């Protein structure tokens, strides 16, 4: 029951079959099916909407049929019919107000790439308590220029420990502590009325063991046969574990958990990549894929605009590998993306894939031959390099690493950020470290010590997360303000240190807002909220110190945001101004790459952008606390660029050099 064969997965179309043959097979299948789908679409949607659905199906054919054939072999034609009818049923149920949004986005398919798009990320309970209270705080978001709101996990989790909401027991219900699905629909409507998009998390790799699918599988219900994977003994689990990196080695070692009820009651080792209560779905079974499609389209019809696709690198398993970033996982995303957009063409996907930069580009469709998967992905590498540069006052590693990254397809966009809800893992490649004279392991260890406040002279007040004393590996928890030195400065009553801490925080966001793509502001950073120790009083949260950087929103502090004499007012004004200037810069929209350049100082990160419909843009950020001189011609375009923003007013040019104040930044744009 649910056992996986000791091979590499399902029957697949051999790679040696030419693409033309695969495409011909798709065309033949569609030719036979199209008249039926056309008649059903027109009957259900009317002539105009029915024809639009059919046009989308024509365009998406190869993004649907080829992944089906790759994943499920000879069953592809039958699955094509079922998948299209699932998408059609969702299109029929789609509310009219969401169809209007779809039409606008089909006219403007790059809507999410525009420089006016900027995001805000928060937990509902920490931001406002419950969903029904969220609309009353939208003025706060609007003042910041927010057009994209990411609400952290809010679907109904399992009771008790639930990995911060990522152990979902029901995709079609909201965590009752936050409200109801009707509340979420009202939030979506309120956001849309203000021109804001709604993003939520969708956990694809696994469900909670309490999910109806998992319980049906355990009970032997044929409808859920093969939804999960269990082995009767340790033979294959040990073989898989030999090459799979552990996610939580200290508290959840290995990738399998013993479940006495599995294998027909005889007991079995269930695949659990993360925690024992999170059971991995088996996408080698096409019924799982179709079931997940149903959940995605159902949620899209509640008003969700962006799905943060959680844990996507883990979705396909192959013996002898890390069971991450497998090619079939990319085919799955391509398939789900294409089918979702048949039903809801205004919806986009964001990949939660914290993997190496080379592996990450694939989730944005960047393969040898472009395949649409996700429109958005987190620029984790940029975030890590910003913190590394801040600790060292040196940008050589950032220059090296960012220059080596593969370009992403122009139809995709980065989400740039300073801090998220998660810990910081130091994704510094040994190759890049060696290229600038560093030892990768030693540098990662230094960053842990520095941001945990262990390194002499450190300004940071963070904490180590998941420290492995055997290997020396660890990650870091802590709010952006605390990691920037603001917490320590307030504790010491040191005004100069506080000024430096604020400058560090604004410096980091000046890069996130101007590197291109969608900048994401994590809740509370606009007010410099510090670490919160309150989580220690909750037994369910106390073992996980990541909750220190998930503080409740301080609305008293927010009330001080318009007073520039306060810490909150100072940071608020700086962050708000970043957004205002950004929105006027066409070069900062997505769809083009940033190029990192050397302007003559190893302490100043300099990057250049140029959209086909704009002039050039140059940003510079000085990560040293001391003034640094850079080549004026490089940053000002031989004097032809205007300074459009900066931390210290217009910077003078003397003897061919621009002097950037310590922890300062400047933006230049070609008129």
CATH code for the domain defined by 208-280: 3.90.400.10
Look at residue 12 and tell me whether its pLDDT is greater than 70.
no
State the pLDDT at residue 540. 84
Catalytic residue among 40, 163, 328, 352: 352
The stretch 409-425 carries a mean pLDDT of 95
The stretch 555-572 carries a mean pLDDT of 97
**CA atoms of 386 and 395, how far apart (whole Å):** 8
Single pTM value for the model: 0.95
Look at residue 175 and tell me whether its pLDDT is greater than 50.
yes
Q: Which of 271, 259, 367 is nearest to 318 (CA)?
A: 271
pLDDT band at 471 (very low <50, low <70, confident <90, very high): confident
**Tens-digit pLDDT profile for residues 622-634:** 999 999 999 999 9
**CA atoms of 648 and 665, how far apart (whole Å):** 8
Catalytic residue among 125, 305, 310, 602: 310
Look at residue 28 and tell me whether its pLDDT is greater than 90.
yes
The stretch 589-599 carries a mean pLDDT of 95
Alpha helices, DSSP H, located in 277-429: 286-300, 327-343, 357-363, 380-392, 396-404
Look at residue 457 and tell me whether its pLDDT is greater than 90.
yes
State the pLDDT at residue 14. 42
Asked if 352 is an active-site residue, the reply is: yes
pLDDT band at 8 (very low <50, low <70, confident <90, very high): very low
**Tens-digit pLDDT profile for residues 316-363:** 999 999 999 999 999 999 999 999 999 999 999 999 988 888 899 999
Tokens 């002898």 correspond to 320
Look at residue 571 and tell me whether its pLDDT is greater than 60.
yes
The stretch 78-107 carries a mean pLDDT of 98
Beta-carbon neighbour count of residue 313 at 10 Å? Answer: 23
The stretch 198-218 carries a mean pLDDT of 98
Q: Which of 191, 157, 145 is nearest to 306 (CA)?
A: 191
663 or 8, higher pLDDT: 663
**CA atoms of 523 and 486, how far apart (whole Å):** 16
State the pLDDT at residue 16. 58
What are the CA-CA distances from residue 430 to residues 405, 439, 596 (Å)?
14, 7, 20
**Tens-digit pLDDT profile for residues 40-66:** 999 999 999 999 999 999 999 999 999
State the pLDDT at residue 250. 75
Neighbour-count burial for 631-658, b at 16+ CB within 10 Å, e otherwise: bbebbbbeeebebbbbbbeebeeeeebb
State the pLDDT at residue 7. 35
State the pLDDT at residue 511. 98
Domain range list for the chain: 19-93+282-351, 208-280
Look at residue 10 and tell me whether its pLDDT is greater than 50.
no
Asked if 163 is an active-site residue, the reply is: no
The stretch 252-281 carries a mean pLDDT of 96
State the pLDDT at residue 469. 77
Tokens 């679409």 correspond to 41
């Amino acid at each position: 029951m649910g056992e996986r064969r000791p091979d590499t997965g399902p029957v697949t179309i051999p790679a040696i079959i030419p693409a033309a043959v695969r495409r011909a097979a798709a065309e033949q299948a569609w030719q036979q099916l199209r008249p039926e789908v056309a008649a059903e679409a027109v009957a259900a949607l009317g002539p105009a909407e029915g024809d639009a659905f059919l046009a989308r199906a024509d365009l998406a054919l190869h993004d649907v049929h080829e992944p089906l054939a790759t994943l499920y072999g000879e069953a592809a034609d039958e699955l094509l019919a079922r998948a299209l009818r699932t998408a059609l049923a969702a299109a029929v149920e789609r509310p009219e107000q969401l169809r209007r949004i779809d039409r606008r986005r089909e006219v403007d398919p790059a809507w999410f790439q525009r420089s006016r798009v900027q995001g805000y990320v928060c937990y509902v309970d920490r931001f406002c308590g419950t969903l029904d209270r969220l609309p009353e705080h939208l003025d706060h978001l609007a003042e910041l220029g927010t057009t994209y709101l990411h609400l952290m996990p809010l679907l109904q989790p399992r009771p008790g420990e639930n990995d911060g909401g990522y152990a979902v027991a029901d995709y079609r219900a909201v965590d009752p502590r936050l409200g109801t699905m009707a509340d979420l629909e009202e939030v979506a409507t309120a956001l849309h009325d203000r021109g804001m998009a709604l993003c939520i998390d969708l956990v694809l790799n696994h469900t909670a063991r309490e999910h109806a699918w998992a319980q049906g599988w355990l009970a032997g219900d044929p409808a859920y046969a093969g939804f999960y994977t269990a082995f009767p003994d340790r033979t294959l689990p040990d073989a898989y574990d030999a090459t799979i990196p552990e996610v939580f080695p200290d508290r959840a070692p290995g990738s399998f958990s013993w479940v006495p009820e599995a294998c027909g009651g005889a007991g079995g080792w269930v695949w659990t990549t993360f925690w024992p209560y999170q059971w991995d779905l088996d996408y080698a079974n096409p019924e799982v894929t179709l079931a997940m499609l149903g959940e995605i389209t159902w949620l899209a019809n509640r008003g969700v605009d962006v799905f943060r696709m959680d844990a996507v690198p883990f979705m396909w398993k192959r013996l002898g590998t890390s069971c991450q970033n497998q090619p079939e996982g990319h085919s799955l995303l391509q398939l789900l993306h294409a089918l979702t957009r048949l039903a809801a063409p205004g919806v986009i996907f964001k990949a939660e894939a914290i993997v190496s930069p080379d592996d990450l580009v694939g989730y944005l469709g960047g393969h040898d031959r472009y395949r649409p998967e996700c429109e958005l992905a987190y620029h984790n590498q940029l975030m890590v390099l910003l913190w590394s540069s801040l600790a060292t006052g040196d940008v050589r590693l950032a220059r090296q690493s960012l220059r080596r990254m593969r370009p992403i397809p122009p139809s995709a966009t980065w989400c740039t950020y300073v801090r998220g809800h998660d810990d910081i893992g130091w994704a510094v490649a040994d190759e890049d470290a060696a290229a600038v004279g560093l030892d990768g392991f030693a540098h990662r260890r230094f960053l842990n010590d520095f941001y945990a406040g262990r390194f002499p002279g450190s300004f940071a007040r963070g904490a180590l997360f998941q420290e492995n004393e055997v290997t020396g590996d660890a990650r870091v928890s802590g709010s952006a303000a605390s990691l920037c030195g603001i917490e320590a400065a307030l504790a010491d009553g040191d005004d100069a240190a506080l000024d430096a801490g604020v400058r560090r925080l604004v410096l980091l966001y000046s890069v996130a807002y101007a590197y291109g793509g969608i900048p994401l502001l994590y809740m509370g950073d606009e007010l410099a909220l510090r670490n919160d120790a309150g989580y220690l009083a909750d037994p369910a949260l106390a073992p996980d110190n990541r909750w220190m950087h998930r503080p409740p929103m301080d609305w008293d502090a927010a009330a001080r945001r318009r007073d520039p004499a306060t810490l909150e007012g100072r940071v608020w004004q700086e962050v708000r101004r970043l957004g205002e200037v950004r929105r006027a810069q066409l070069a900062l929209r997505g769809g083009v790459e940033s190029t990192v350049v050397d302007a003559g100082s190893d302490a100043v990160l300099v990057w250049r952008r140029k959209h086909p419909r704009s002039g050039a843009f140059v940003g510079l950020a000085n990560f040293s606390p001391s003034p640094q001189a850079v080549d004026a011609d490089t940053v000002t375009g031989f004097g032809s660029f205007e300074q459009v923003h900066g931390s210290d007013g217009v910077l003078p040019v003397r003897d061919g050099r621009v002097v950037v104040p310590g922890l300062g930044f400047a933006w230049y744009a070609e008129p």
